[in-house]
Amino acid sequence: MSHDNDRSRYRAVPSSRLGRVAGFGRLASGVAGGMLAEGARRMASGERMSAQDLLLTPGNARRLTERLSHLRGAAMKLGQIISMDAGDFLPPELSGILATLRDQANFMPARQLDKVLQEEWGPDWRKQFRWFNPRPIAAASIGQVHKAMTRDGEELAIKVQYPGVADSIGADVDNVATLLRMSGLLPATLDLETLLKAAKEQLAEEADYVREGEQMRLYAERMAEHDGFVVPTLHDALTRKRILAMTFEEGIPIEALADEPQELRNEVFERIVNLVLRELFEFGAMQTDPNFANYRYRRSDGAVVLLDFGAARDIEPHVIEGYRRLLGAGLTGDGSKVRHAALNIGFINETVIERQGERVDRMIGIITEEMNTDAPFDFGNRAFVPLLREEGMAIAEDKQSWHIPPVETLFVQRKVSGTALLGAKLKAVINIRRLVDTKLAELA
């Protein structure tokens, strides 16, 4: 979520099925037109080209970003996930433009906002507040956040869901999948159905603000004895399925710490990594959305404010055990043990090993060498990423090797990968091996 003073960001959310389908139609036709124009330009200059090159142009990325920002909902959420999960492996132009989806959404116009609030709170909803700021302090894929003060003087953050978002999840996910299939980037043999079903289920959960409020309450209970973090307090009386009311917690964007002293960046990031390890191995539950906007830093006491629990979920015991074995194997530095653990947890399959075993082993070697040294690891030094990208893209070119890990594992890995990206953003330097070693020793 982000602050922005640009009035042009006020655009009504297309809430009808027809309106959203039309939006996808405009996106598809715009991308196709962009591909034709780019193809003609390259042909005229004598360049060789592929369908993938033509699709992944900056112009098409801008079209994708603009349209998904307008549609919001599941469509925009999937764009965010792609940018975070695959950012290191996309062309820089596409990765950079898609990354704007992580913190940029249009706002609802006042009339549309008032309609939602009346439907949830009744026509006299304003009487419950001393003031309600109609300008959002933040906006994201599923809702936007407003500050308000109750008659009792309590300052709240109130998340209001965009109209039509919950009802459009199934169609939005199917439309994005259709665009991906049309692109020719996915092998025809790749079975997306399990992944699409899970995406629809998670997005439906995220669109249920009553559920999110309960998850926030449960998370606060787990964190009761852990200093250094703040979880907002739910305001039950004002929360509805499309409205989440909670205490307003002051804080600056976590990325702003990138300009702070190294010691502070290291301490805060180490705290966050320890929290991820606790989620995985102590809580058995995890907030699986690693969007940077879900962390704030409170200067007054140095606490990290945790936000957005729509993606919080229990972790299957076999996933917890799989990660314990994988990390334990990584600490040994034995590539064969890591490969075996990765097979068991479902990150790779036998087909990949048979067809691309040497490249897989080289990737494992790069990762274990980087992460297995008992010394501070510089997350800001991404020199090893191009090496991983080179091997990963070579494997990806062999479409018979494509494999989708189990969905329950993907949720956890999304949080792990996103946390590493935050470390890179903060240029944090911490002894990751020692943190993992300590946590695994506690489990022994």
Residue 336's contacts (CB-CB under 8 Å, 6 or more residues apart) are: none
Per-residue tokens: 81 = 């996930």
CA distance 8 to 288: 32
Handedness of CA 409, 415, 421, 424 (dihedral sign): negative
Looking at residue 260, its pLDDT comes to: 96
Q: Cα–Cα distance between 4 and 356 in angstroms, integer?
A: 46
Is beta strand 229-230 parallel, antiparallel or unpaired with respect to 303-306?
A: parallel
Measure the CA–CA gap between 337 and 47, rounded to whole angstroms: 45
- The reply to whether 289 belongs to the active site is yes
Q: What is the DSSP string of 26-68?
A: HHHHHHHHHHHHHHHHHHHTT----HHHHHT-HHHHHHHHHHH
Domains for the chain: give ranges and CATH numbers.
Answer: 7-105+166-204 (no CATH), 109-161+208-248 (3.30.200.20), 253-444 (no CATH)
Instruction: Return the pLDDT at 357.
Output: 85
pLDDT at position 151 is 97
Residue the block writes with tokens 């509805």:
240
Q: Which residues of 223-249 are buried (b: 16+ CB within 10 A; e: fewer)?
A: beeeeebbbbebbeebbbebbbbbebb
Helix H or strand E segment including 385 = helix 384-397
CA atoms within 13 A on the CB side of 42: 14
Main-chain dihedrals φ then ψ at residue 161, nearest 5 degrees: -80, 140
Q: Please state the three-class secondary structure of 216-274 as a single string.
A: HHHHHHHCCCCCCEECCCECHHHCECCEEEEECCCCEEHHHHHHCCHHHHHHHHHHHHH
Residues forming beta bridges with residue 140, ordered by sequence position:
none
Phi, psi of 231 (to 5 degrees): -115, 130
Q: Mind listing the pLDDT tens digit for each residue in 246-301?
A: 999 999 999 999 999 999 999 999 999 999 999 999 999 999 988 888 999 999 99
- Here the tokens at position 180 are 């991906």
Query: So what's the pLDDT on residue 195?
Result: 74
For residue 306, which of 239, 212, 373, 391 has the smallest C-alpha distance? 212
| Active-site option among 289, 301, 308, 374 | 289
> How many Å apart are CA 391 and CA 247, to the nearest integer?
47
Q: Which residue has the tokens 């249009």?
A: 106
Q: What was the pLDDT predicted at 108?
A: 85
Ranges of the chain whose pLDDT falls below 70: 1-106, 176, 179-191
DSSP structure string for 99-132? HGGGT--PBPPHHHHHHHHHHHH-TTGGGGEEEE
pLDDT tens for each residue of 66-107: 555 444 445 545 554 554 444 444 445 445 555 555 445 568
Residue listed under structure tokens 């470390």: 423
- Specify whether the backbone of 429 is left (phi greater than 0), alpha (psi in -120 to 50) or beta: beta
Tokens describing residue 89: 């492996």
The whole-number pLDDT of residue 199 equals 79
